[in-house]
């Protein structure tokens, strides 16, 4: 390592690969994050299996290796195998049965005679029958073992159900090191930090020319300013603090539709302000209706639940909700994996009106009885196509159909995404009721504010070319995408050793490491971030100047999302991609179309490849002004672009218009 060890997530001297890491989150061995000795996960827990020989598959009393003072297998009274000591036919200190009363046929914890200081049958924590203490549903009530007074159900090491502590699968990571219990830092209470936003760029007013199309029964008129939106004064004040001057196109249409009580499916270009488009009207309706859940309630009953495919997207939505609800009694809570279950349960217990989470942790919290869906008025699916593509459909259906959520006719369901291909719309139709479909601009099209560059390059030459590019861009905040997790860490280490301050983020890093890496990138400690596709959707990082596709993705939609991390809110950005025809040929035709539609030059070699290639490039569908189309219409023409924000409705319930001046405050969807 060199002097480029960037805080807690860098790759330099104190946290370099393979070193003796002093850092909290470095990639070396040892150090403070080794979790050894008395600081190991779960105290002195012995991990899985036998504590005598260390092998799995048997308990210590059945150890075939003996070990220590053990008598080996079988009864510790007589030494014979085939029975346990409490069933010993030779007696020897208690005989069979209960050691309290001496009778056979029951164990001491089930003794009907009580005896001594015994609690009699059942749980020693609460005194009730029908369960053992480790399964106690009453948590800390009663009990004399203070060390176990708050663990409730499941494993006392990780807090999850379905296994005991000695079998805890969460004690070690893939390298055999003890896992940590991560408690995220408390979010900032500083108003400047809470209301920090992305500065508008020189092309900001080009948003005036973005067309919008609406379809569905009885469409709702759009707004041209936040003052027309019907927001509560406290929320309007927070909107102004966040420097949101005028609504973006998706906000102009989505906010009044949601305020009117309609279900919504909305497609908009990345960086268009989708999060504020659903958060503002949702929390306004909640406050107007009165907050239902109290922080004194044992079971919280939120009125809105937002499901996101990734942890970081969930965190960003939560921070936006917290921002807009600042100074009110409305409380937002975020639930996601990789963090302490106990910590998040405490957050829920303090009050949860607006809940944001990933599917798995949401279901777990509901199953624990901490949250009830009985009073849900808003179900919001952000990056809905991403969730279904990632295989979350069973979890979403379980959440919607089997957890006590009101029927779709008794709640509002909102779906937001940058793409909505036809097959996703068919699945989404199960969750929506009489919805309006809104598309803003070319859904799936590339941002014209991003300059796209392509290099045809051999795989072995990529590192040198990347270093050459980074040498020219200096300290510009740069996001580098790779396809494989191991390549993310390797490339980040290589760049750090090449005097380019770099960190990385991918699904195998601990949640603490992921959050610290993002923080170092945002603050400029490590202005280069190497990421897998886990970071491709909705990363809300101000000032990203350059996106590099070190490896091109498998689909053209993913390419569009990646380069959408730069060029936000009218700012100019740059995207550089390394193309290898052996691995990327399926994309070439779609890449040519994307470049032409964004009025960018097409390299002659790429155009030549496209002319001779079969079309196998994924989900990109060209044609017309809009990339997302409502499948409920049978073709249907209409549409077109109005002037000056005119509210023009066409046959088939469509509307299109120049949506007027827009604003952006860094509020779009985020990611995993």
Contact by Cβ (8 Å): 22, 16: no
pLDDT of residue 543: 83
At residue 378, does pLDDT exceed 90? yes
What are the backbone angles phi and psi of residue 485, rounded to the nearest 5°?
Answer: -60, -45
Number of Cβ atoms within 10 Å of the Cβ of 172: 16
pLDDT of residue 273: 84
At residue 384, does pLDDT exceed 50? yes
Domain 191-440 CATH assignment equals 1.10.3720.10: no
What are the backbone angles phi and psi of residue 294, rounded to the nearest 5°?
Answer: -110, 150
The residue among 269 and 118 whose pLDDT is bigger is: 269
| pLDDT band for position 181 (cuts 50, 70, 90) | confident
pLDDT of residue 642: 36
Single pTM value for the model = 0.65
Contact by Cβ (8 Å): 412, 376: no
Q: What is each CA distance from 661 to 54, 222, 248, 569, 648, in whole angstroms?
A: 67, 13, 7, 12, 17
How open is the CA angle 613-615-616, to the nearest 5 degrees?
110
At residue 42, does pLDDT exceed 50? no
Highest mean pLDDT of the ranges 172-176, 530-534, 625-629 = 530-534
Question: How much is the mean pLDDT over the chain?
Answer: 76
Name the fold adopted by 450-613.
Rossmann fold (3.40.50)
Report the alpha-carbon distance of residue 159 to residue 520 in Å, rounded: 30
At residue 15, does pLDDT exceed 50? no
pLDDT of residue 272: 76
Report the alpha-carbon distance of residue 325 to residue 331 in Å, rounded: 8
At residue 468, does pLDDT exceed 80? yes
At residue 145, does pLDDT exceed 80? no
Who contacts 451 (Cβ-Cβ below 8 Å, separation ≥6)? Answer: 572, 573, 574, 575, 600
Report pLDDT digits (tens) over 213-248.
999 999 999 999 999 999 999 999 999 999 998 898
pLDDT of residue 567: 79
Q: Would you call 417 helix, strand, or coil by DSSP?
A: strand
At residue 442, does pLDDT exceed 70? no
Report the alpha-carbon distance of residue 384 to residue 486 in Å, rounded: 28
Instruction: Provide CATH 3.40.50.300 ranges for the chain.
Output: 191-440, 450-613
Q: What is each CA distance from 483 to 197, 480, 530, in whole angstroms?
A: 30, 10, 10
Lowest average pLDDT, out of 50-59, 371-380, 412-421, 561-570, goes to: 50-59
The residue among 623 and 305 whose pLDDT is bigger is: 305
The residue among 580 and 152 whose pLDDT is bigger is: 580
What are the backbone angles phi and psi of residue 654, rounded to the nearest 5°?
Answer: -95, 155
At residue 641, does pLDDT exceed 60? no
Lowest average pLDDT, out of 4-13, 72-81, 397-406, 409-418, goes to: 4-13
Report the alpha-carbon distance of residue 405 to residue 375 in Å, rounded: 8
pLDDT of residue 440: 86
Helix axes 359-367, 393-402, angle to 10 degrees: 30
At residue 595, does pLDDT exceed 90? yes
pLDDT of residue 13: 41
pLDDT of residue 21: 40
At residue 625, does pLDDT exceed 50? no
| pLDDT band for position 268 (cuts 50, 70, 90) | confident
The residue among 414 and 86 whose pLDDT is bigger is: 414
pLDDT of residue 522: 87
Cβ-defined contacts of 166-169 (< 8 Å, 24+): 166/45, 166/46, 166/47, 166/48, 166/49, 166/51, 166/59, 167/48, 168/42, 168/45, 168/47, 168/48, 169/48
Question: 456 has which bridge partners?
Answer: 579
At residue 257, does pLDDT exceed 50? yes
Who contacts 122 (Cβ-Cβ below 8 Å, separation ≥6)? Answer: 109, 110, 128, 129, 130, 131
The residue among 272 and 387 whose pLDDT is bigger is: 387
Report the alpha-carbon distance of residue 59 to residue 64 in Å, rounded: 10
Lowest average pLDDT, out of 139-143, 425-429, 477-481, 592-596, goes to: 139-143
| pLDDT band for position 664 (cuts 50, 70, 90) | very low
Segment 182-194 mean pLDDT: 85
Rg of the chain in Å (alpha carbons): 29
Residue-wise over 552-589: b if at least 16 C-beta within 10 A, else e? bbbbbbbbbbbbbbbbbbbbebbbbbbbbeeebbbbbb
What are the backbone angles phi and psi of residue 469, rounded to the nearest 5°?
Answer: -65, -45
Segment 259-272 mean pLDDT: 86
At residue 322, does pLDDT exceed 50? yes
pLDDT of residue 162: 56
């Amino acid at each position: 390592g060199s002097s480029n060890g960037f805080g807690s997530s860098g790759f330099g001297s104190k946290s370099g690969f393979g070193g003796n890491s002093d850092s909290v989150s470095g990639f070396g061995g040892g150090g403070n994050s080794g979790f050894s000795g008395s600081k190991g996960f779960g105290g002195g827990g012995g991990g899985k299996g036998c504590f005598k020989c260390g092998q799995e598959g048997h308990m210590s009393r059945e150890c075939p290796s003996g070990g220590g003072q053990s008598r080996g297998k079988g009864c510790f009274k007589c030494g014979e195998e085939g029975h346990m000591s409490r069933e010993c036919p030779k007696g020897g200190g208690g005989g069979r049965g209960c050691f309290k009363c001496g009778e056979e046929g029951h164990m001491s914890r089930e003794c009907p005679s009580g005896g001594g200081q015994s609690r009699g049958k059942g749980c020693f924590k609460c005194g009730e029958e029908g369960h053992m203490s480790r399964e106690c549903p009453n948590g800390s009530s009663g009990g004399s073992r203070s060390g176990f007074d708050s663990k409730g159900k499941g494993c006392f090491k990780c807090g999850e159900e379905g296994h005991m502590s000695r079998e805890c699968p969460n004690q070690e990571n893939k390298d055999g090191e003890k896992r940590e219990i991560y408690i995220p830092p408390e979010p900032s209470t500083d108003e400047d930090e809470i209301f920090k936003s992305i500065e508008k760029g020189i092309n900001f007013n080009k948003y005036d020319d973005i067309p919008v199309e609406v379809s569905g029964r009885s469409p709702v008129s759009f707004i041209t300013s936040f003052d027309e939106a019907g927001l509560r004064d406290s929320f309007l004040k927070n909107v102004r603090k966040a420097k949101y001057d005028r609504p973006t196109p998706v906000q102009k249409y989505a906010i009044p539709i949601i305020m009117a009580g309609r279900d919504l499916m909305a497609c908009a270009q990345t960086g268009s302000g989708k999060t504020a488009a659903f958060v503002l009207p949702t929390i306004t309706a909640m406050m107007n209706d009165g907050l239902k859940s109290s922080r004194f309630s044992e079971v919280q009953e939120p009125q809105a639940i937002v499901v996101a495919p990734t942890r970081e997207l969930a965190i960003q939505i939560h921070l936006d909700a917290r921002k807009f609800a600042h100074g009110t009694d409305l409380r937002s809570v975020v639930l996601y994996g990789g963090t302490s279950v106990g910590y998040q349960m405490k957050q829920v217990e303090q009050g949860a009106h607006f809940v944001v989470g990933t599917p798995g942790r949401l279901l777990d919290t509901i199953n624990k009885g901490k949250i009830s869906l009985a009073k849900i008025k808003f179900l919001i699916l952000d990056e809905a196509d991403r969730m279904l593509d990632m295989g979350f459909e069973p979890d979403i259906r379980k959440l919607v159909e089997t957890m006590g959520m009101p029927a779709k006719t008794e709640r509002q369901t909102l779906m937001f995404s940058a793409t909505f291909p036809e097959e996703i719309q068919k699945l989404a139709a199960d969750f929506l009721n009489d919805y309006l479909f809104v598309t803003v601009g070319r859904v799936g099209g590339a941002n014209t504010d991003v300059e796209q560059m392509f290099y045809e390059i051999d795989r072995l030459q990529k590192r040198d070319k990347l270093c050459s590019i980074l040498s020219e861009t200096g300290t510009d905040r740069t996001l580098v995408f790779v396809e494989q997790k191991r390549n993310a860490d390797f490339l980040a280490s290589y760049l750090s050793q090449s005097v380019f301050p770099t960190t990385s983020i991918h699904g195998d890093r601990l949640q603490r490491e992921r959050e610290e890496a993002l923080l170092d990138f945002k603050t400029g400690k490590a202005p280069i971030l190497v990421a897998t596709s886990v970071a491709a959707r909705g990363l809300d990082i101000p000032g990203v100047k350059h996106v590099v596709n070190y490896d091109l993705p498998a689909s053209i939609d993913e390419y569009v999302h990646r380069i959408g991390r730069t060029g936000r809110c009218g700012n100019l950005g740059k995207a550089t991609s390394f193309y290898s025809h052996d691995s990327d040929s399926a994309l070439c035709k779609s890449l040519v179309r994307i470049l032409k539609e964004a009025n960018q030059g097409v390299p002659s070699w790429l155009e030549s490849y496209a002319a001779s290639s079969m079309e196998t490039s994924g989900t990109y569908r060209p044609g017309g002004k809009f990339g997302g189309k409502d499948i409920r219409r049978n073709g249907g023409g209409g549409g077109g672009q109005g002037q000056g924000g005119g509210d023009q409705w066409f046959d088939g319930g469509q509307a299109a218009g120049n949506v007027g001046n827009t604003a952006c405050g860094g509020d779009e969807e985020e990611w995993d």
